[in-house]
Structure 1
Amino acid sequence: MMLDYVRIEALRMLRNKRYGIFVVAFPVAFYLLFSSLYGDQTGAGGVRANAVLMVSMSAYGALSASMMSTAVPWAQERQSGWLRQLQITPLTNWTIIVTKLVTSLLLVLPSILLVCAAAVLTQGVSLAPARWAGLILVMWVGAVPFSALGLIVGSLLPPDTAQPVAMIGMFGLAILGGLWFPVELMPAAMRAVAHVMPSFDYADMGQSILAGHGVPISDALTVGAWAVALGAVAVLAYRRATVRA
């Protein structure tokens, strides 16, 4: 039954125009724009800017997908009474939450793969197969904290409020995570905030793999800690939402 629920949720989101715009169109369009402006430059370690931008825009797409596929739909289901209906099915509360997270992660993959495909086809970005696999896997699994954050927003806020809050959070995490422009260019106060954001360490894991250095332990621990903390809050928020429902 859980697999059927995942399939239904994924198909429902794929038909959502908001998902198509924020998750498919925007990250690819931003990548094509930025790479046309800065793609020929060479950054630290000799890595071309078009490859660095690929990781940044993949991270932005994954962040957007994970939050947009959880926050607003979850809030709408809570308001419509769908959560109340789920409670009378054989699905346990944990199964429902895990299903939402799994569905969100499935919907993250297209954003990552499409940006990578755009990088290969338009900018000639080339990596060894093992590095491609490691990069995509890390960018995929690393999106868990943002899915959990979306569930928190959807559990606590009504749909008309959840959407702008999710979008503000999404853009804020993207900017402070250095996904749109380097953290080094930020004022000192913003740099201090950026270095504690999960989006910063999330993108840094991808950039490190791109440069051939593997995943920094500090980044992995930080993203993991955010995933555990936000996941725990998501469970508490869901319980509160179901009590209200």
Structure 2
Amino acid sequence: MPNYIRIEALRMLRNKRYIVFVVAFPVIFYLLFCNVLGGETAPGGIGASAYLMVSMSAYGSLAASIMSTAVPWAQERQSGWLRQLQITPLPNRTIILTKLAAALLLTLPSLLLVFLAAVLTQDVSLEPGQWIGLVPAMWIGTLPFAALGLAVGSLVPPDTAQPAAMIGMFGLAILGGLWFPVDNMPTTMQAIAHALPSFPYADIGWHLVAGETPPLQDVVTILAWTVALGAAAVLAYRRATARA
């Protein structure tokens, strides 16, 4: 299993789309937004640079989770690699868990680079305890998005998987308030944002940066989406293997 995870990670690290869209873009957007907003105070009373650090690292992490699962998985189904995996001793659950583990591994570059840019260029400073809470929360919180990517990759062909993944990626980021504060949205859009997994995922980070305990509702929402999308990924995988 470790070798399988390593192969999956190395393959994505060689993918130019992954490097551009989910590693470089979040850092670039972070620096641009910080230059525009300057020293303004963001929602929650925290500095704009710290608020945007969470927003852009959340965007990059969910993008990495979706892009590193949806497109490669769809390509593997079409190429016959999935059929080859099925005849190996690897159980189906191990294949899915390996994909999720590789997706988690691939979220780290985007996540850590945005944090590094915030510290080095915007003088963002947090207490050690805040970093200890923030990094694992933002990392583990990407599980529902990785599961979503697996479901998409199991259901659609490769030429559809990429646009579907990008629509999902940008849709979750925009509607979830990662690019525009939810408080500035109309009431209906706010309700939609709170129902999506992307808002509570980032909201946990915003509260940790502010030195506050994340709301229990955010944690419950993320857990519920993880279970729901994980079940959807398993069902989609079974459907894909039944047709393979």
Q: TM-score range by the shorter chain?
A: over 0.9
Closer, same or farther: CA 45–187 of 1 in aligned 2, 3 Å: closer
Q: How many residues align?
A: 244
**What is residue 89 of structure 2 aligned with on the other side?**
90
Structure 1 residue runs of 5 or longer lacking an equivalent are none
Sequence identity (%): 70
**What is residue 16 of structure 2 aligned with on the other side?**
17
Give the TM-score taking structure 2 as reference length: 0.98
1:104 and 2:103 matched:
yes
Structure 2: how far apart are the matches of 1:193 and 1:143?
A: 19
Q: CA RMSD in A?
A: 0.9
Alpha carbons 2:155, 2:240 under 8 Å: kept: yes
What displacement does 1:103 show?
Answer: 0.2
Residue type of the alignment partner of 1:35: C
Closer, same or farther: CA 44–160 of 1 in aligned 2, 3 Å: closer
What displacement does 1:187 show?
Answer: 2.1
What displacement does 1:44 show?
Answer: 4.3
**What is residue 244 of structure 1 aligned with on the other side?**
243
Residue type of the alignment partner of 1:195: H
1:195 and 2:198 matched:
no
Alpha carbons 2:22, 2:110 under 8 Å: kept: yes
What displacement does 1:46 show?
Answer: 3.5
Structure 2: how far apart are the matches of 1:80 and 1:206?
A: 39
Alpha carbons 1:145, 1:231 under 8 Å: kept: yes
Alpha carbons 1:39, 1:48 under 8 Å: kept: no
Structure 2: how far apart are the matches of 1:153 and 1:138?
A: 24
Residue type of the alignment partner of 2:125: S
Alpha carbons 2:55, 2:179 under 8 Å: kept: yes
Higher mean C-alpha deviation, range 52-61 or range 214-223:
214-223
Give a deviation string over 1:203-245, Cα, whole Å, max 9, x none. 1000010111122211111000000010011001001111111
Closer, same or farther: CA 198–5 of 1 in aligned 2, 3 Å: same
**What is residue 146 of structure 2 aligned with on the other side?**
147
**What is residue 223 of structure 2 aligned with on the other side?**
224
Give the TM-score taking structure 1 as reference length: 0.98
**What is residue 124 of structure 2 aligned with on the other side?**
125
